[in-house]
Amino acid sequence: MNLWMHEARLLLRQRLAVTAVALLAVLTIAALAAGMAEVSRQRAAIAAIPVAQAEDIGAIATWVDKEKDAGSAAYYSFHPTWDTPAPLAFAALGMRDVSPYILRIRALGLEAQIYDGDTFNPELALPGRFDFAFVLVFLAPLFVIALCHDLTSSEREAGRWRTLAALPHGGPALWRRRTVLRLALLWTAIGIPFLVAAAISGVHAGSILVILLLVAAYLLFWVGLSAAIGRLRWSSVANAASLGALWLVLVLVLPTLGHVAINRAIPLPQGAEIASAQREAVNHAWDIPREETMRRFYAHHPHWADSAPLGTDFHYKWYFAFHQVGDESVADKVGGYRQGLERRDRAARGIGWVLPSVGVQALLTRMAETDLAAQIAYRERIRDYHRRLRTFYYDYLFRDRPFGKSDFDKAPRFE
């Protein structure tokens, strides 16, 4: 124990070590604070939905109640959906930084509403925002390199190597103590602030433990890499340069090349292309006989086929029918797009088994429920809700039932 205390005192006397650990702690705290602030902002925006929705629907209901037209109610009513952040979302914002977490939809064609804002494939976002995951994956290795690159080389350059190796409990035992102490300090600078932030955010104890172990394992990987380079008996400068090059390759270059390779191997259209195709199908309905649209609609939805025939006047059931037909016309594209995204995601997670930086980031976003799988799940919840909305309004439209102010309260709510 005295040897450990002695080494700890020597380490804490080194200005570089103290400064590096303090800076890492400050960066970790800043990242956690930024993540918690962003999650708090998102929660506040979601919490404000009911009041804004009540005001919006109230104004529409007053107007619709005059003629009790179900079509107008369905056309003008927006219905909110939202993706509440998980307790751990503050640590790895992931796709919540590039994809909507609130989406107001109507009972019209859904695919255009979902993909209108999808002007790029969000899974391509690599480093992301400054959050805990960013500090751990991208910055922490640099601090490991700063503290561990010269553990042995500095002693050789100072002429103390042989003396230290000959001392009792010296040699390999001495380097192990010094390495473990540096690893413990770096883990403390990252782990303790995270532990506090996670406790404040109500993260499950099991998840906290897993991430603390993940931090230790990732730091240990870089410590081991530093030790391996140190065994080559190069100079301290050469060690630092070599480790810096490895950091560049393992954290930035190879993950980027991996994602580029995945994108080329699994080509996908932009989500906006799906929205455009759906919109073209909808617009085409104005140029063909209405009976043809209704025939296509009833073929897939015979439940409404006994609705009264269309007259010569405009009827909203035809309008909503061709919107649904437009959605169904791009169903194959939507399914293929989702399957392609999932294949890309599986391939990216496969890279994580080879590149620790990718694996750590993937695990953090999975646990935080901010990865691609979480975004796809949110879209599926939107689709389920949209189906319930359509069924609700169709019961009025295709049965020619009046829609009054009280009927707005019967509309399904997003869960």
Q: Considering the entire predicted model, what is its pTM? A: 0.89
Cα separation, 308 vs 34, in Å, equals 57
In a shared domain, residues 321 and 339: yes
Given a cut of 80, whether residue 394 has pLDDT beyond it is yes
First-last CA distance in the chain = 57
Exposure pattern of 117-144 as b/e (b: 16+ CB <10 Å)?
A: ebeebbbeeeebbbbbbbbbbbbbbbbb
CB of 215 closer than 8 Å to CB of 135: no
CB of 268 closer than 8 Å to CB of 170: no
Which residues have a Cβ under 8 Å from the Cβ of 165 and sit 6 or more positions away? Answer: 171, 174
**Residue 180: what pLDDT?**
85
Cα separation, 139 vs 27, in Å, equals 9
Task: Report the Cα 306 to chain-centroid distance in Å.
Answer: 45
Cα separation, 24 vs 21, in Å, equals 5
Given a cut of 80, whether residue 123 has pLDDT beyond it is no
Cα separation, 147 vs 9, in Å, equals 15
Q: How many structural domains does the chain have?
A: 2
Average pLDDT, the chain: 89
Whether 127 maps to a domain, the answer reads: no
Among 200, 234, 265, the domain-final residue is 265
pLDDT tens digit string along 139-156? 999 999 999 887 766 556
Given a cut of 80, whether residue 192 has pLDDT beyond it is yes
Token pair for 340:
């392609």
**Residue 15: what pLDDT?**
80
In a shared domain, residues 309 and 374: yes
In a shared domain, residues 272 and 250: no
In a shared domain, residues 192 and 89: no
Q: Helix 236-247 crosses helix 140-148 at what angle (to 10 degrees)?
A: 160
pLDDT tens digit string along 149-189? 877 665 565 555 555 555 555 556 666 787 888 899 999 99
Whether 281 maps to a domain, the answer reads: yes
pLDDT tens digit string along 254-286? 999 999 999 999 988 888 889 899 999 999 999
